[in-house]
Amino acid sequence: MSSFDGGIEQACAKHIFGTYSRFPVAFVKGEGCSLLDDKGKEYLDFLAGIAVCGLGHCHPEVTRAIEEAARKLIHVSNLFYTYPQVELAAELTRLSFADKVFFCNSGAEANEAAIKLARKFSSDLFGPGRFHIISMKNSFHGRTMATLSATGQSKVHKGFEPLVEGFVFVDFNSVAAVEAAVTDKTCAVLVEPAQGEGGLNFPAPGYLKDLKALCREKNLLLIFDEIQSGLGRTGSLFAYEQEGASPDIMTLAKALANGLPMGAMLATDEVAKAFTPGSHATTFGGGPLVASAALATLKVISEPGFLEKVRETGAYFMSRLGELKDRFPFVKHVRGRGLMVGMELDMPGAKFVSRCMEKGAIINCTHDTVLRFVPPLIAGRSEVDRMVTILEEAFKEEAL
Ligand X SMILES: *Cc1c(COP(=O)(O)O)cnc(C)c1O
Answer yes or no: 254 catalytic: yes
Coil/strand/helix, residue 365 = strand
The distance of closest approach from Cβ of residue 53 to ligand X in the complex, given in angstroms and rounded to an integer, is 14
Q: Does 227 engage in binding with ligand X (CB under 6 A)? A: yes
Q: Between residue 124 and residue 143, which ones bind ligand X under the rule CB under 6 A?
A: 140-142
CB of 350 to ligand X, least distance (A): 20
Q: Would residue 99 show up in a list of annotated catalytic residues for this protein?
A: no
- Would you say 249 or 331 has its CB closer to ligand X? 249
When asked if residue 122 is in the footprint of ligand X (CB under 6 A), the reply is no
Q: Which of 227, 379, 243 is nearest to 317 (CA)?
A: 379
Q: Is 234 in the site for ligand X (CB under 6 A)?
A: no
Nearer to ligand X, 84 or 142 (CB): 142
User: Do the bridges between strand 263-267 and strand 249-252 make them parallel or antiparallel, or are there none, so unpaired?
Assistant: antiparallel
In angstroms, give the least distance from the CB of 146 to ligand X. 12
Q: How far apart are the first and last CA of the chain?
A: 37
Which residue has its beta carbon closest to ligand X?
Answer: 107
**140 catalytic residue (yes or no):** yes
State the angle between helix axes of 83-94 and 288-301 in degrees (0 to 180), rounded to the nearest 10.
Answer: 30
Q: Closer CB to ligand X, residue 45 or residue 225?
A: 225
Q: Quick one: three-class SS letters along 224-250?
A: EECCCCCCCCCCCCCHHHHHCCCCCEE
To ligand X, the closest distance from the beta carbon of 144 in angstroms equals: 8
The number of helices, as runs of H, and strands, as runs of E, in the chain is 14, 15
With binding defined as CB under 6 A, does residue 253 bind ligand X?
yes
* Residue 220, helix vs strand vs coil: coil
CA dist., res. 68 & res. 330, Å (int): 50
What distance lies between CA 43 and its chain's CA centroid? 22
Q: Do 284 and 219 meet the contact criterion of CB atoms below 8 Å apart?
A: no
Mask: binding to ligand X, 89-108, rule CB under 6 A, as x and -? -----------------xxx
Dihedral, CA atoms, 147, 153, 158, 160, nearest 10 degrees? 10
- 372 lies in the site for ligand X, by CB under 6 A: no
How many C-beta neighbours within 10 Å does residue 260 have?
Answer: 19
Choose between 227 and 357: whose C-beta lies nearer to ligand X.
227
Taking residues 180 to 209 in sequence order and writing x for each that binds ligand X by CB under 6 A, - otherwise, the string is ------------x---xx------------
Select which of 97, 202, 254, 352 is catalytic: 254
Q: Can you give the binding site for ligand X, defined by CB under 6 A?
A: 106-108, 111, 140-142, 192, 196-197, 225, 227-228, 253-254
Q: Which residues are catalytic?
A: 140, 225, 254
